[in-house]
Amino acid sequence: MRDANPASSAGASEADARATDGPTGFEADRRRPDPRLPAWLAAGFGMLIFAIATGEAALVALGAPCLVLVALAVPRRPPSELRGRIRLDEVRALESDVVSGEIEVHWDGQAEVDVVLADLRGMVPVDPEPVVGWSLPAGAGPVRLPFRLRASTWGAHDSGALWVRARRPGGVLFRERKVASMPPLRVLPTALRLSRLLEPVDSRTIAGAHVTRIRGHGTDFAELRPYRPGDRLRDISWGTSARLDEPWVRVNHPERIGTVLLLLDVVFTQGARSREGIARVARAAWTVASAHLRAQDRVGLLAWGRTVAWLPPRGGRRARWMLLDELLNIGQVVEDATRKRSRRGRIFVPPDALVVGVSTLRAETFVPQLIHYRRTGHATGALVLDTSDLLPEPATRADTAARRIWLAQQRAQERELERAGVPTARVDGGDGAGPAILALRRKMKIHRRSIRAVGSGAAPA
């Protein structure tokens, strides 16, 4: 057995690796001649024809070696058995993580072998680079080839094919075959740091981390009041009752969860800048969702664009994985333009749900959709992803004017949302979602106070 890099492959953990064996029935199996074969045939037969035409027998000596080489090389058939598999040390990674793996190739007898890992999407070669490929000298298999890839794009990536081309030493016939496919790799979006949560409007009846406006059995203090018939004895505040010489009861806020619905804008065009904009949307959405799920809230997902995703609000560990799976599927559609997913169903948004839009404001229907949820009585907010840094530098005055118009249109859409009662906060490219979440919290609190003040007839503070 030959090992192209024993030091790197010895440390690979096969217990945690995922292997994909190339089946014997791949259609991508073809035989091709060496580029030298037509040249040898042309030179040999050309000299013979020229010698016959001119009567110069000495020219035969020039063409005969070429024909002899062909006669000796053609019988050397390429290997009849080509097998391979790909192993990855990790099946999950974060964006920009480096994933190590190993390729194992088998063939029969002595052969010169070229190995290439092609059709990679969402992954960039690190070692070897710029192409994951090797040209092996004549020898016998099997051989192990370690490699490293960088996860450049979030999503569920199942692309990548292992191609092997082999021929006998001195032969002129190649055999090319696709022997294995890349194991699925799930690249998770990088979670941005988030210190505070958005505040859902109302609560549910399941225990959680948010304090509600209603009072009942719980652990968060609300008030002290005199004892009333029917109060539980365990709620009596014995210290207060002893000081006031009459029974007083401690009233608490019940701990109940909130409901958050993430509305994602996944309208994009083909190009690296558009894909990076959608990646920022996914990072911000995953940051908000994971933080609220850790707080025992129920989180749902509604995405509109090239792909449609709908997950009713759920809580718990299973909801976390379902939400992450939908985000990975969206990332797969973004990376591969040939994929289209349309998952429609009856969309029912709970009346107490806080609808949070996450968008780059590229879709024309996104702003009306958010306004629709606001007018139907849902508490609504929007996180606007700033993608101005992804725009190319203006080269002419027309480019500068177009850039200003585009930015003005975005500002106009934000003002339209604010006028319709949808608070907005801008997520800058370098700051992350934390400052935007805090700004959105403050705006939504002010908005709720003004609504309550108008409802009670008092002037807003």
Secondary structure in 3-state letters for 232-267: CHHHECHHHHHHHCCCEEEEEECEECCEEEEEEEEC
State whether 244 and 263 are in the same domain.
no
- Residues in contact with 449: Cβ distance below 8 Å, sequence separation at least 6, in sequence order: 460, 461
State whether 263 and 392 are in the same domain.
yes
Integer Cα distance of 407 and 399 in angstroms = 12
Q: What is the mean pLDDT of each run of 10 residues along the chain (461 residues)?
A: 40 36 48 68 72 73 69 66 88 85 89 88 87 87 90 80 84 81 82 53 41 53 83 87 91 71 76 72 82 81 75 77 78 65 67 84 83 87 83 84 87 89 81 76 78 53 42
State whether 117 and 88 are in the same domain.
yes
Q: Tell which of 253, 270, 304 closes a domain.
A: 253
State the pLDDT at residue 271.
62
Alpha-carbon dihedral angle through residues 439, 440, 444, 446, given to the nearest 10 degrees: 10
State whether 383 and 406 are in the same domain.
yes
Radius of gyration of the chain (CA): 33
Token code pair at residue 296: 């025992």
Burial 283-292 (b: 16+ CB within 10 A, else e): bbbbbbbbbb
How far are the Cα atoms of 8, 117, 304, 456 from residue 144, in angstroms, in the given order? 10, 13, 45, 75
State whether 301 and 383 are in the same domain.
yes
Integer Cα distance of 100 and 91 in angstroms = 10
- Residues in contact with 72: Cβ distance below 8 Å, sequence separation at least 6, in sequence order: 170
Tell whether 74 is covered by a domain.
no
Tokens 């934000």 sit on residue: 414
- Residues in contact with 436: Cβ distance below 8 Å, sequence separation at least 6, in sequence order: 284, 383, 425, 426, 427, 428
- Residues in contact with 317: Cβ distance below 8 Å, sequence separation at least 6, in sequence order: none
Query: What is the residue type of 344?
Result: R
State whether 234 and 337 are in the same domain.
no
pTM of model > 0.85: no
For residue 132, with 0-12 CB atoms within 10 Å meaning exposed, 13-18 middle and 19 or more buried, which class applies? buried
For 210, what's the count of Cα atoms within 13 Å in the CB-facing half-sphere?
Answer: 27
State whether 235 and 264 are in the same domain.
no
Cα 364 to the center of its chain, rounded Å: 24
Q: How many CB atoms within 10 Å of residue 198?
A: 21
Tell whether 14 is covered by a domain.
yes
Integer Cα distance of 113 and 79 in angstroms = 10
Q: Tell which of 200, 230, 253 closes a domain.
A: 253
Q: What is the CATH number of the domain that holds 415?
A: 3.40.50
Integer Cα distance of 18 and 184 in angstroms = 9
Integer Cα distance of 143 and 239 in angstroms = 78
Q: How many CB atoms within 10 Å of residue 338?
A: 5
Tell whether 118 is covered by a domain.
yes
State whether 314 and 410 are in the same domain.
yes
Q: What is the CATH number of the domain that holds 24?
A: 2.60.40.10
Q: How many CB atoms within 10 Å of residue 429?
A: 14
Tell whether 57 is covered by a domain.
no
Number of domains present in the structure of the chain = 3
Tell whether 64 is covered by a domain.
no
Integer Cα distance of 360 and 221 in angstroms = 41
Domain of residue 325 covers: 259-456
Integer Cα distance of 178 and 26 in angstroms = 7
Tell whether 461 is covered by a domain.
no
Integer Cα distance of 288 and 440 in angstroms = 12
Tell whether 65 is covered by a domain.
no
Tell whether 58 is covered by a domain.
no
State whether 289 and 384 are in the same domain.
yes
State whether 270 and 341 are in the same domain.
yes
For 4, what's the count of Cα atoms within 13 Å in the CB-facing half-sphere?
Answer: 21
State whether 280 and 423 are in the same domain.
yes
State whether 308 and 239 are in the same domain.
no
Let me know the angle formed at the C-alpha of 291 by 287 and 297, rounded to the nearest 5 degrees. 130
